Amino acid sequence: MYRETPRPPARKKLHSEPKRAPRARRDEVWRSLFERQSPAVALGMCQEFQRGIALAGLEAARMPRPRSLSRRLHDLCGWRIETVPGLIPAAEFFALLRDRRFPSPDWIRHPDDLEYTPEPDAFHDLFGHVPQLASAKFGNVLEQLASAARGADAEELTAIERVYWFTIEFGLVRENDAVKALGAGLASSIAELDRALHAPAIERRRFMLSNARQSPFETDRPQELYMVADSLEGLVADLHIESWDRVRRAG
């Protein structure tokens, strides 16, 4: 079983440098990954995520170019893509989110390594996160997380990263009496998406801010714990600044 390594807001580089596709083959790799993931996304991702794919105009034929995609996103929802070379510190990551800029590399994994990349590539960020950015509901979740990180010390940033992980990266949500996925790390991995929704041995725990803040996660192996939000609207309310203050006071 494999998984594409998603972007935690901050992470030490524990792996070798990823093998990158030549520029001439970027569209080929994007098309292969897009066509492979799309059926699983249609079945397993929540409706708001699927709506975001259509709104953002993502298509299999061609890997989006950061500048043109950024302009389209800004016109659509006020977000931009900020091209970065790789992983960045958590404080910088959340500062970009507060400015409605989402960091993403402009490289995509090598065609020989479609199953795994040791760092998040453009497919993870553009296929997994851009549909979130195109959605006002997802955008509200990102804004609440970014706001909570303003002025946070290292310990508090770690807690916020955990909440980000269990929502934006690997979150689940109840929808029409079923559990669907909302996280980018699930959208960009068939194996992880199927595991999150169907594997009998893993834990699916109702999302609670106090619990998510205290739950560590692993970045280099399949997840053993997923958290299920009651709804996207409820998740936004759970992440309101007053909720963070209440949880912090409770210790």
Query: What is the Cα–Cα distance from 204 to 60, expressed in whole angstroms?
Result: 32
Residue 10 to residue 8: CA distance in whole angstroms = 5
pTM score, whole prediction:
0.89
pLDDT higher than 90, residue 117: no
Helices (H), ranges, the chain: 26-44, 47-56, 66-77, 90-98, 122, 130-133, 136-149, 154-164, 184-187, 190-198, 209-213, 232-238, 241-250
pLDDT at 96 over 70: yes
Does residue 15 surpass a pLDDT of 50?
Answer: no
Residues 184-227 pLDDT 10s: 999 998 889 999 999 999 999 999 999 999 999 988 788 999 99
> In the predicted model, is pLDDT for residue 5 greater than 50?
no
The average confidence (pLDDT) of the chain is 88
Residue 12 has pLDDT above 60, yes or no: no
Structure tokens at 98: 């507060």
In this prediction, residue 16 carries a pLDDT of 54
Yes or no: say if 45 and 148 are a contact pair by the CB < 8 Å rule.
no
What pLDDT is recorded for position 79?
97
If you average pLDDT over residues 16-45, what whole number do you get?
87
Nearest Cα residue to 226 out of 159, 155, 87, 218: 218
d(CA 116, CA 197): 20
| Calpha distance 118→99 (Å, rounded) | 28
Please give the residue that has the higher pLDDT: either 137 or 24. 137
Q: Any idea which fold 23-250 has?
A: Phenylalanine Hydroxylase (1.10.800)
Instruction: Quote the pLDDT of residue 163.
Output: 97
Domain positions in the chain: 23-250
